[in-house]
A and B are shown apart, each in its own frame.
Chain A
């Protein structure tokens, strides 16, 4: 049997497994909106762990990281900074988001911000910013899926057809089983991607170089420029380093697919353990990615698309069955993030726009069906974007994170009580100025003075938010007292016991 048939067949086998899980999840699901959107707020540690890491790591980590190591060298190992910082943010901020979500039955990030700032404009702006910037993330996954299937099949299945098929599958099981399907498939996908990237990197290291240490020795001898900062093309300057750390930690955490995972946890303790342990998975995935990227730079120095280095190496130098299994892992990495973001955007648009402004007071089942329709619409957008525009996967994800980062002042204002809270005018003005500065420092004056656009934009956002908040009216004392009181009580008072008691009363 030809090797491309084996590799593509194993990817299809994996796809069938996810479809079966989606169908099973559908049977376990009730037509209850909280179940469809938030897993009934019952996600335990193991499921939540695997769904968070599977959602966080995507085609970006599996394919894009190899491409960045390939082109820019060891500087991309800074990825560890944002993965570890993500854990700390989950530990401190995530647990507060969880507590407020449980206490006040929030479902979307916009629910929380609109409640605190007493503003429907805040709700709509947060919803639109969330959806707009995560569409870029959807594009990354769709693009990654296309790369995988076209390389695995030796271009017998085109990038466009591969993208279409796999995006359709991810949307299909999401539409069938809601967040339950996403979580169940994420469990499989999380394990599969981790094993696959390590196995692939080690097999290639031994086959091509005799082992990882020999690989490093070859890199030192042949491409020493890859082993120092700021890298062969001077990419990793201090300003870019800090900017990527911030955009890919805070910026990803603030995207709706991660915030919704906080809401769905069964307890705050689960969130804290999640924060302490997810960096182990997230960070260590980049260890083999470095071997892939730098090994690829030695063996395949003239790749037209660096993001394809991992699948190209596998197809050329690994056994067909192993290539299929590993590329199925890559497919898992992309699909697990794709389905999560589709689900989150569906939730935001259904809850924050459709249910509130277009058709309130319908049966829960009605909204479930509308959500399914929204998923199909998003899939069309993702497909069109992925086949019409191309960019480095890492660059696209960083832009996505930098956009979502603009929600940081507003979110901190809700979750961290202060004597002088931010106001809705301050938050809205901050988002507006932040997005404008982001555009200017990415497009008009790219990374001005060597500082990443994410840093310029969030600095401008914070400054604007603070200044405007000094001169505008804050939310009512009742609202601030209710929400900040709940935070104070949960974090420094009666904890989860008090939270349960407050819910019962």
Chain B
């Protein structure tokens, strides 16, 4: 093309020209702009899922490094590596190569420990993310599918953990493997067949670590990766939920655009999560397999604990009574079957189906994009706390021998504490949570009706002392506020409604012009009318025709949209 004159709008810079070249081939400018303009709501709790995603990235990176050194073989060898106390000891290749990558690979121990810490963080962030989704009602229509994918991801993450920590073939992981073998055997009818299929024979055989390895490094990661992609695509398609607030409705998303604010924050979080894992991986020792020694079926160390996320199953197994069920024909359902296969199966099934259950029980079939505050749905919140308490008792019982040891309590007493506690404590937690939710709800309405307590005491001419209340909005003839509750936090301190001046910044000397800050705050004062208008909007569901939401507490809500 003869460059006689630049056509209007044609780029003149090098980068601009290159970008045009690319777009002429791929036509990506439109989709790219749409992505950059995508709005993400801003709340700290929306970052929990991101932490899980970033931990997974760290797991992939560190795990790939480890595969270059790990040898998933159970054939016997004699250790001759750098760690003198184990020299000359017979062990499996798997254990030997794990020792080698800890002691003979430069920086290998760091990567191994980063991998382990990232795995703990991965499961932990999934669980906390799930708890956030649950208590704010983000799983409701149209997001039930994504909830279910999330639960499947959690189960897969647990399996990743189990296959991962079983591979080094040290004494601790071998003990875990032995229990996995017993759990497989405990399944009625097909137990022995299942065991033979997984272990390729009787315990322990020589196939299991190789099999766990391929499951751990190929099959599970591939499934998890695919599900994460679907999880995120659904999130993008359905857009993120948001908490109710000024201008936020069921039909919009208020927040930051992807570029640059959200991208900056997300990248920052990735680096912080990675940094945290790296620091933990270097500074805090985890699973020092060289102290446990190679696996030996005749040995075990006291205080054997699995990684934290399996603790609840260890606890349920400790608590469940010795109830073998003997069936006619000399068949047995082992007691071990109930606290492991049945408890885990039931817990995850109920969890996965919870959105459908709630939908059936409340009859709420509407789509929801605005989140709920836990206090506004006391039944769900209490059910959630009850479930968490049950989980907590099981989890604590997974370490009841350590508690018994450290606090000098009888071990058998700790078992009974767990057995009684898992039945008695959850209902108490339910009731307490329910009362707390109602109390918080009432306080919100109290403040909306009577205003914020200012702490200023005034004496009336009659001699009566009263506390001055600051109304949040217009009042009726009795002095009662006319704002209705809109599902958003209600300011309860004077500082939250501009009762205090902003501090002037600068540590040793002020770096802001005092007059500017003064002007700014005066501008904010002028903006109070606008803020009040916003707050008025806050108390409606976004449709002016509806005139605000009724304060409907925990009752099932009518479909609003």
A binds B: no
Binding site for A on B (CB under 8 A): none
Binding site for B on A (CB under 8 A): none
